[in-house]
Amino acid sequence: MPVSDHQMISAWDEVLRLSQVKAGQTVSILCGPHTHPLTLRAATVSAQRAGAIVTKIELPPINAEKATSRDLLNYLGETPLTGNKAAIAALKNSDIVLDLMLLLFSPEQMDILESGTKILLAVEPPEVLVRTVPTEADRQRVLAASQLLKRAKTMHVTSPAGTDVTFKIGDFPTVCEYAFCEEPGRWDHWPSGFLFTFANEGGSDGTIVIDKGDILLPQKTYASDKITLKVSEGFVRSIEGGIDADLMREFMEAYKDPEAYAMSHIGWGMQPRCHWHTLSLYDREQTIAMDARSFEGNFMFSLGPNNEVGGQRKTACHLDIPLRNCTVRVDDTVVVRDGKVLDEAFQ
């Protein structure tokens, strides 16, 4: 449904309150030609209502000659901020950056965060943002689960479709997403509600089966048939199946980068206000599909870069693939059983 200015401003008011935006702080709003005008307008008004000093930085798009679609996550690494020293300096001198453009997996983002600046990404349509306004309860739930994941050394995932894969973990940090930034140097994404870590280099082995109805991103499609991935020593070694497998294989081959096949982040969704079915209601260019990434009980694995947490892989190819109906075991504890989050595991 359409969203009124009042609803959007109220949503931003709450997110900025949770992010501890105070009077006199500096808020920089990073945007581009694809930024939704209502989101930009509401973010600006809300930051001003909080008493912040507001600066808008608009940058032109790039990568059109490299990407094979208009999706913001189709080609990663190089952003409109790359080499723009003036804009980077302004963002590093902000208390919080509202990223309405998308800087994910970029060295500039890491540089800004290391300065102590907070970054909140928000590029979904207004109606998605309004439906998924975060709460303190979201934060507490994700943090409780993270304590278990931070101590773990292995993650084992199975499914009725045939997934049986083991990941060695612990070399990279655990990342918690709950859609607001209350601490200096923190990055988050509204909407979200999940946690993940990155598999150790060379530490992923087994079989992953993408079943009918599972989602491929950035393709933003539901699989129409099974795709079987054979994983060995941290890399996908084969992609088997029908037309969906062919499309996935050619998409990855187009980057001409062997790092595209490396296992990236792994984790599970914990946001009950996000839904598996939502993607079916949107045109592909309307959304980056955060519902798919965050819906409660998914197991989401990714392929491609790991520089977001200090790794060396910077490939421009990145796939996020949330699976349904999986059982996820962290060390000896089952945290998701048949696609249902087990909160008692975190107590």
- Please give the domain boundaries of the chain with CATH numbers for all domains: 5-131 (3.40.50.2300), 136-346 (no CATH)
Residue 51 backbone class (left: φ over 0; alpha: ψ -120 to 50; beta: rest): left
pLDDT grade for 278, boundaries at 50, 70 and 90: very high
pLDDT grade for 81, boundaries at 50, 70 and 90: confident
CA-based angle 117:16:198, to the nearest 5? 55
Quote the pLDDT of residue 1: 67
Predicted confidence (pLDDT) per residue in 129-187, tens digit: 999 999 999 999 999 999 999 999 999 999 999 999 999 999 999 999 999 999 999 99
- Within 8 A by CB and 6+ apart from 43, the residues are 12, 29, 98, 100, 122
Is the predicted pLDDT of residue 4 greater than 90, yes or no?
yes
Section 249-276 average pLDDT: 97
Quote the pLDDT of residue 60: 85
DSSP 161-217: TS-EEEEE--SS--EEE-S---STT-EEESS--EEEEEPPTT-EEEEEEE-TT-EEB
- Within 8 A by CB and 6+ apart from 306, the residues are 172, 198, 262, 264, 265, 312, 313
Quote the pLDDT of residue 58: 95
- Within 8 A by CB and 6+ apart from 169, the residues are 149, 152, 153, 154, 155, 197, 198, 199, 200, 203, 266
Section 67-91 average pLDDT: 79
CB 315 within 8 A of CB 151: no
Least confident of 22-36, 237-251, 307-321: 307-321
Quote the pLDDT of residue 241: 98
Section 215-238 average pLDDT: 98
Structure tokens at 330: 């962290």
Is the predicted pLDDT of residue 73 greater than 70, yes or no?
no
DSSP state of 271: B
Average pLDDT score, the chain: 94
DSSP state of 277: G
pLDDT grade for 307, boundaries at 50, 70 and 90: confident
Phi, psi values for residue 219, rounded to 5°: -60, -30
Section 94-123 average pLDDT: 92
85: how many CB neighbours lie within 10 A of its CB?
A: 8
Section 3-8 average pLDDT: 97
Quote the pLDDT of residue 231: 98
Q: Record the pTM.
A: 0.93
Q: Are strands 26-31 and 96-99 parallel, antiparallel or unpaired?
A: parallel
Quote the pLDDT of residue 66: 62
Instruction: Work out the percent of the chain whose per-residue pLDDT is above 90.
Output: 86
How far apart, in whole angstroms, are the C-alpha atoms of residue 15 and residue 135? 9
